[in-house]
Amino acid sequence: MGHDAWSCDLLPSEDRSNRHIIGDARDLLNDGWDLLMVAHPPCTRLCNSGVRWLSTPPPGKSREQMWTELEEGAALFSDFWNAPIERIAIENPVMHRHAKERIANFQEFSQSIQPWQFGHGETKRTCLWLKNLPPLVPTQVVSGREQRVHRLPPSVDRWKERSRFYPGIAKAMAEQWTEAAMAQAA
């Protein structure tokens, strides 16, 4: 949409974009953002679906490791939510109470969306924490909803496939939040 948009991750971008920074996104939070930040922090230890691992760790992990990873995940979410950026959106699943207790200035999510509301025929409930941004309006509701992501078989890249963000949702964010930010600036 003509924006100078950048991504940042500890991993390289899959599309070899020259607008991608490999590193810790927290190092960029004070760089004078002019429009907004959309953050996708890892949800592994924050989400309701994984709370069971805090009491009964998976093979090869200790209970202490699980709780340390929870602390680290909550700290990252906190840093994003409390960043000095006027408009913030954070995407994550529904959180369990232990995560909520550890996030500074925690607020419940602003909106819950599904990929099928934005042109993708599958289910994957996604929560959005929004600061100075309006909730997204569905753009293309489709039928044929399946739980593809939930039913992915075990594999080396399962974590990566489960964490993919949907282009239809990203497009709605770009269009709708650009319009909202421009209206606020006027």
Residues 123-180: pLDDT tens digits? 888 999 999 999 999 999 998 777 766 666 777 776 666 667 889 999 999 999 988 7
Q: Is residue 146 part of a domain?
A: yes
Residues 6+ apart with CB under 8 A from 79: 26, 29
Average pLDDT over residues 26-53: 89
Q: pTM of the full predicted structure?
A: 0.88
In sequence order, the 6+-apart residues with CB closer than 8 A to the CB of 149 are: 122, 123, 124, 161, 162
Provide the token pair at 133.
């941004």
Give the SS3 label for residue 90. strand
The answer to whether position 1 is within a domain reads: no
Q: Give per-residue pLDDT as tens, 1-19.
A: 788 888 999 989 888 889 8
Residue 112 near residue 62 (C-beta atoms within 8 A): no
Q: What totals of helices (H) and strands (E) does the chain contain, helices first? A: 4, 6
Is residue 2 one of the residues assigned to a domain?
no
Mean pLDDT of 83-98: 94
Structural domain total, the chain: 1
Instruction: Tell me if 65 is assigned to some domain.
Output: yes
How many alpha carbons fall within 13 Å on the CB side of residue 40? 12
CA dihedral 186, 183, 93, 6 (to 10 degrees): -60
Expressed as residue numbers, the domain containing 68 is 7-185
- Is 49 a domain residue? yes
Dihedrals phi, psi of 140, to nearest 5 degrees: -160, 90
